[in-house]
Amino acid sequence: MKFTIEQAEDFVASIFEKNGVLPKSARSTARALVAAEAAGQGGHGFRRIAAYISQLHVGKIDGKAMPSAKTLRPGVLCVDAGHGYAYPAIDLAIELLPAMARAQGIALGLINRSHHAGVMALTVERLAEQGLVAFMVANAPASMAPWGGIKPLYGTNPIAFAAPVADADPLVIDLALSKVARGKIMAARQKGETIPDDWALDAQGRPTTDPNEAINGTMVPAGDAKGAALALMVEVMAAGLTGGNFGFQASSLLDDTGTAPSLGHTIIAIDPDIAGNDAFATRLRLMANEIEGQENARLPGRRSQGVRKHALEHGIVMDDDILAEISKL
């Protein structure tokens, strides 16, 4: 079924509201899922709806939660997601951080007792569109072993970065620290497809093409030992600083078993004019021109931005298998 962006947001929000989620939280969550789908990130879009709802029904997510914020120090904001969906808490942080960053030069946002952070590129881009440099990390339930091990301890633990570029869309970098995002394996499992044999290992540490074995095994880190080390860094920055669960303590985001995941997200917003560098975005445009001036080179984030613009103009499609799942809700 084809939707405009607005129709899709209304439809998805109505699903959450009918299942007991507060209207404001339902709208925030729907907006994030539709934006992910529109950006070509289906593993973080419509395919998350069924799991989100099933977790709501067993109390793994609190649909009545309203995020609350405290300013712990002049440049430090703490947002309690209350075991609700992550997106209302992220929206609150994005609402409050810019003024703090401009006043202090830099602001730290700590989000605790949270859930799936979704496509973080879309979060940091919102700050870059306001002229700020943004960095975000989030931990996730364990799916990746320390280098040399076979027991999952770290999540795929994405890192996202964005910065304003004069007369152009922001520079946006968003990457999981596994070789591929776990959402791609989830999508392959839902579609009954196999996966490449270098994406994941089974529970015995052997390469697998079966997404079910991959879900029950471990993800291959990007860059091997370097990726595993960066994943540990994110655990410290996201869970350690916020008091959230480490990946090995958190329940899965993909099913309705266990207690609330209680994950952490950390956002850093920087005013690039802090050192009188009022030409920051113009200078970054120079770098962007150099990159794009090379044949076959592409500035990070441009593909997703292009896909999103196409979706805004032409709409997005919800696959039949997802509609069938939703009809059961």
Written as tens digits, the pLDDT of the chain (329 aa) is 899 999 999 999 999 999 999 999 999 999 999 999 999 998 899 999 999 999 999 999 999 999 999 999 999 999 999 999 999 999 999 999 999 999 999 999 999 999 999 999 999 999 999 999 999 999 999 999 999 888 999 999 999 999 999 999 999 999 999 988 787 888 898 889 999 999 999 988 899 999 999 988 999 999 989 999 999 999 999 999 999 999 999 999 989 999 999 999 999 999 998 766 668 999 999 999 999 999 999 999 999 999 999 999 999 999 998 888 888 87
pTM of the prediction?
0.92
The angle, 0 to 180 degrees and rounded to 10, between the axes of the packed helices 23-38 and 86-104 is 80
pLDDT value for 186? 82
| Maximum Cα–Cα distance across the chain | 57
Pick the closest to residue 252 from 52, 81, 91, 62 (CA basis).
Answer: 52
Cα-flanking dihedrals φ and ψ of residue 50, to 5°? -60, -45
Contact 82, 248 (CB under 8 A): no
User: Residue 185 is inside which H or E element, if any?
Assistant: helix 182-191
pLDDT value for 55? 97
